[in-house]
Amino acid sequence: MATKKSAQKTASPARRKLTAKNPAGKKSPGPTLQPLPVLRIGLGFDIHPLIAGRKMMIGGVEIPFDKGPKGHSDGDPLLHAITDALLGAAGMGDMGAHFPDTDPRWAGASSEIFLIETMKGLSANHYEVVNLDCNLILERPKLAPHIEAVRRHIARILALSPERVSVKAKRHEGLDSLGRNEAVAAQAVVLLVRR
């Protein structure tokens, strides 16, 4: 008993925590200390007013409709939310800092460029996308017929297999500006791993 106590006293705190007894009462060596992979989570959100005379760009795909998102670029809320989620996960700031809407270079630009440039930054910092999940909040038109094309298009831009990308469409049930079809919004959550 005395020997056991003194052995516990000399063990480091980490060693004490990791040393467990197996059901037979014998000391097991405990789990091996393996370095954890560096995983980073990021969250993005975006909303744009819907106005006549603009293309309805969602995830880089044009959806036939009589209105589209107002914005400095093409106003694609899904690609903007994804870009912000990626930048946030890598601790690289936000879209406004990298692609300000006062910069004439981005006037009318396809939002795919923001995603492509962001992915270059992630690669330079050895980050890889594990998976991506998104919500697109839009009252009309119905996104269901286009959702698979949107998902595959985003996967292509990110050079990912489509099963790593999820896009879900939600209605806002008639509530607020989204429900009155005056706006379109998107949310994105992304997981990165550092290689």
Q: How far is the CB of 102 from Zn ion (least distance, A)?
A: 14
Choose the stretch contacting Zn ion; rule: CB under 5 A; options: 13-21, 46-54, 98-106, 143-151: 46-54
CA distance 89 to 93: 9
Q: In this chain, which of 57, 63, 79, 80 binds Zn ion, going by CB under 5 A?
A: 80
- The answer to whether residue 146 forms part of the interface with Zn ion (CB under 5 A) is no
CA distance 119 to 185: 22
- The answer to whether residue 84 forms part of the interface with Zn ion (CB under 5 A) is no
Largest CA distance in the chain: 84
> How many residues sit close enough to Zn ion to count as binding (CB under 5 A)?
2
Q: How far is the CB of 71 from Zn ion (least distance, A)?
A: 6
Q: Please name every residue paired with 74 in a beta bridge, in sequence order, or none if there are none.
A: none
Choose the stretch contacting Zn ion; rule: CB under 5 A; options: 29-37, 45-53, 122-130, 142-150: 45-53
CA distance 54 to 68: 4
Q: Are 65 and 143 in contact (CB under 8 A)?
A: no
- The answer to whether residue 46 forms part of the interface with Zn ion (CB under 5 A) is yes
